[in-house]
């Protein structure tokens, strides 16, 4: 696979490059705030950078007719609409988290929310001190699955890659569901799975990462 990375000098950008290199894929395009390097035509672009980069990312995908895997968090409606418009031309996967475990957790908390309708629910998420958006994109995914107006508590501490805790509580008992990312490698491997899927699918559209990993479309 020939691929490109937007935000190549960031934490996730470096992790993606290392992971894809281990699998024998060819890095032919790199972009960050100050630099742009091209050494071929990428088949897929991966962007885990910042919302303000989305416009340039979409432009690059159009230029090369490249598929897009985007895991940037903190996106607004403007950025999401640009991504949706691009999906009419190339295959796209947009997700706030590319961990298999988080998407399994999302299914579990959705089920629990349906069963424990009268219980209180709150979300606590913790990330490294440099993460700019709060709540995290993953906390938003979990809240959407729970489908209630509930509090989300955000912590920015040290170098935590990502912790998410959903607490269900009733009088006399508490049920906790927790996911902890031990390294960014798990997200890079998920991004690789997404990129391989898009190359195989070969037609424009918005594709659901959760359905790709668990089936159903």
The residues assigned a catalytic role are: 127, 131
**Rounded CA separation 94/80 (Å):** 9
**Rounded CA separation 206/208 (Å):** 7
- What residue has token string 């349906």? 114
**Rounded CA separation 189/81 (Å):** 26
Would you report the helix, strand and coil content of the chain in percent, each value rounded to 5?
Answer: 40, 25, 35
- What residue has token string 């070969």? 202
> In this structure, what token pair is assigned to residue 37?
């390097």
Starting at the edge strand that comes first in sequence, how are the strands of the sheet with 120-127 ordered? 152-156, 120-127, 163-170, 173-180
């Amino acid at each position: 696979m020939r691929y490109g990375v937007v935000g190549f000098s960031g934490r996730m950008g470096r992790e993606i490059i290392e992971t894809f290199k281990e699998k024998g894929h060819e890095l032919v395009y790199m972009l960050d705030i100050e630099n742009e390097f091209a050494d071929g035509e990428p088949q897929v672009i991966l962007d885990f950078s910042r919302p303000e980069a989305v416009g340039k990312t979409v432009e690059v995908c159009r230029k090369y007719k490249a598929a897009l895997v985007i895991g940037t968090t903190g996106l607004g409606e403007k950025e999401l609409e640009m991504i949706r418009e691009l999906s009419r031309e190339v295959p796209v996967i947009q997700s706030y988290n590319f961990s298999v475990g988080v998407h399994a957790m999302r299914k579990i908390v959705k089920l629990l929310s349906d069963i424990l309708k009268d219980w209180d629910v709150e979300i606590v998420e913790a990330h490294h001190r440099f993460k700019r958006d709060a709540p995290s994109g993953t906390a938003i995914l979990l809240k959407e699955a729970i489908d209630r107006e509930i509090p989300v508590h955000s912590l920015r501490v040290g170098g935590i890659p990502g912790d998410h805790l959903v607490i269900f509580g009733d009088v006399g008992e508490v049920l906790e569901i927790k996911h902890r990312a031990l390294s960014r490698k798990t997200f890079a491997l998920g991004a690789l799975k997404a990129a391989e899927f898009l190359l195989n699918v070969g037609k424009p559209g918005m594709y659901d990462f959760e359905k790709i990993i668990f089936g159903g479309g």
